[in-house]
Chains A and B, each alone.
Chain A
Amino acid sequence: MEHQTILGMIGLGAKEHLYWISILLFVGTYTMIILEKFFHRVPAALLGGTLAIFLGVVTPEGAWEAIDHNTMFLLIGMMVIVSVLIESGFFSILSYVALRFTKGDPFKIILTFTMLTAVLSAFLDNVTTVLFMIPILISITSKLKLKPVPYIIATVLASNIGGTATLIGDPPNIIIGSLGGFTFMDFIVNIAPIVVITHIIGTAVFIGMMKMQGHLETKVTDEKKLQEIMEGQKIEYDVVLMRKGLIVFGITIILFFLHHVLHLEAGTIALFMASVLMLWSRENPEKIFERVEWTTLMFFLGLFVVIGGLEHSGVFEDAAHMVAGVITDPISGILILGGLSAFISGIVDNIPFTMAMSYVLIDLGKTASFNVEPLWWALALGACLGGNLTIIGASANVVAAGLAEREGYPIKFFDFIKQGTPVTVVTVIVALGLLWLKYTVFGV
């Protein structure tokens, strides 16, 4: 039986009509996402997705297939595991240890917190890491009579850089891994070493800037006062739950390394291990699910369907032909695509951009005469690092700004740009330069 659609009923059911309507839906949805002052991005994406089904651009079955289950499973699974770790107080202990180690020295604080944030962000969602680190950082810096804002911005920048390192570190990487068919190990081999060097250079840049701006001068030197500040930290934890959470988290990471050997997708592993942890920890699932970012998941769901409409109508195939006309070899493509991704990700949400570009790269891979793998890595580096350009460039930035404002330390758009832009420019140039070197000098 032929699938009847509303568009068909009004005489717009032809393929060429669907082609342009899917583009209109895509542009409309993205416009609403960009105009976040007027529309919340989640209902905007959901409206775009459901409108695509409603109008018959995609069938309900087609919409379901368009949702990348691996991405969704990976996000849900990791969010559950992280939720248990937060509940256990693991992050409170880490920050307490970091505070004891730094002993109130601003230089040590910035170095320790950015390093800790970058490492955590490589294995956890950036938003989660920021949600956890920022309140602690605000509490410490304000007690030490330091201005919290530069420290917050530095931590957010480190989070976005650290998140670039692995398959699970940042949502764009999850999308790239899943749609590009890359394993956890592929990211470790191709991206992680570049990110480590980039992070070191990025850290040097923002610490240098903070030093010049006078933000690294010690304000509290009294030992007794420092001791009081450390003891004032509320450290609630549950060692038993933490042990279970870390065991499961550790096994999950090991399985990620082996997922191509096991012929299991990362999403399957994450969701399976999350279920094991929930059962083993005996924590109330309602409590655990409270920390799962359902709004982010819904955002993904809507976007996948909108983009599924484009894919279904053959738009990406045409886009790939256009891109192939501009990018004629992978080496120049690294710089063009990486630079473009960084710029666009800096001004709009990097998730929808990555999703759309991934489909273009999939179709480009089918038609191009060269290996498109370097372009995927350029996209990952550009999309993730570009998020540091402005305060709206990545979800973690927005979350951090919200937290800071709530605590009485609003971050102005230009304050962020002052620190974010130089770091972004340097890190993007370094990262893409290293990727370019990797393929031109080493050829792999």
Chain B
Amino acid sequence: MPVNTVIFLQREKVNFNNLKVVKEIAKKLDKKLVLLFVDVPEEEKEKAKKQVEEENISYELKNQLDFGEAKEEIKAEKPDLLVVTQEKISPLEHIFRITSTEKLVKDFENLDIILLQEDADSINSVLINVDKETATEYFISSAYLFVKKLGVKFDFVTSFYESFYENRLKKTHPDEEAKQILVGMLEEYVETVKTKLAKALKGEKIEFLILKGDPKKEIPYYARKKKYDLLLINENIEDKESYIENSEISVGIFKDKEGE
């Protein structure tokens, strides 16, 4: 992912856990860090500035009083990566409330965004979802480049919705025949994902995990259970909101095609 600018957007207060992560990203990718603060108290700004300067990172501090103006600033700046803090709320609370960060995601198109959980202070493991239908070669290669540059543990994953196909097949075929067809479908599914990965990674051999279940539930569940720090999904994936809201871990939404 050819990152030139990383914007760290913060509103009303600075999340210093997340700042650690952002500094690490900017440093590892060797990119300029823009601290875009909206209505943040002076002392927090100073503290953030000091922490960034300690790391010797090229940075710029931009202040906005209004959140709408900050959004315009992001659109004008066209950063390659936007990092925001995602409020940590329980799934039950999530039913009744969409976080401001989740609303913000809808305002931007063709932009790589990472929603960092409030308590995220490092990224050590990343799960990259390869959706059979929508993940593009561009997404796969940029996600791969990102994790390689960060130097973190990562896994590619995909989920085959077996029970759904199985129930449908059983309506029209005897059980044994349905099972055989299903095996064929799974093989074809795996082959397609494998081909996508091979093309995107220019033939580099990469292992990937195959899960079985509704992807929008199974993949976030797997990411939570295995305690990954970040789940990467592609921008045009179906049910994007579900992946974000079901994860309870940090989520990155990377674009599917080269930006303008």
Contact = CB atoms under 8 A, between A and B. Distances in A.
Interface stretch (B91-99, B198-206, B252-260): B91-99
A93 interface: yes
Nearest to A287: B164
A147 interface: no
B246 A290 contact: no
A243 interface: yes
Contacts of A243: 94-96
Interface residues of B, number: 19
A246 B97 CA distance: 13
A286 B168 contact: yes
Interface in A46-102: 89, 93, 97
B112 interface: no
Given A234-B221, A236-B217, A242 B95 contact: yes
A284 B91 contact: no
Interface centre among B91, B164, B213, B214 (most CB of A within 10 A): B91
Interface string A211-243: 000000000000000000000001111111111
B245 interface: yes
Nearest to B218: A236
A246 B92 CA distance: 11
Given A242-B95, A246-B95, A237 B168 contact: no
A240 B245 contact: yes
Contacts of B216: 238
Contact of B245 (A234, A239, A290): A239
Interface string B202-227: 00000000000110111001000000
Nearest to A243: B95
A237 B217 contact: yes
A84 to B, nearest CB: 13
A93 B95 CA distance: 11
A81 to B, nearest CB: 15
Interface of B: 91-92, 94-96, 164, 167-168, 213-214, 216-218, 221, 239, 241-242, 245-246
Given A237-B217, A240-B245, A243-B95, 9 more contacts: A93-B92, A236-B217, A236-B221, A239-B246, A240-B239, A240-B241, A240-B242, A243-B96, A286-B167
21 contacts: A235-B221, A236-B213, A236-B214, A238-B214, A238-B217, A238-B245, A239-B91, A239-B242, A239-B245, A239-B246, A240-B241, A240-B242, A240-B245, A240-B246, A242-B91, A243-B94, A243-B95, A246-B95, A286-B167, A286-B168, A287-B164
Interface of A: 89, 93, 97, 234-243, 246, 284, 286-287, 290
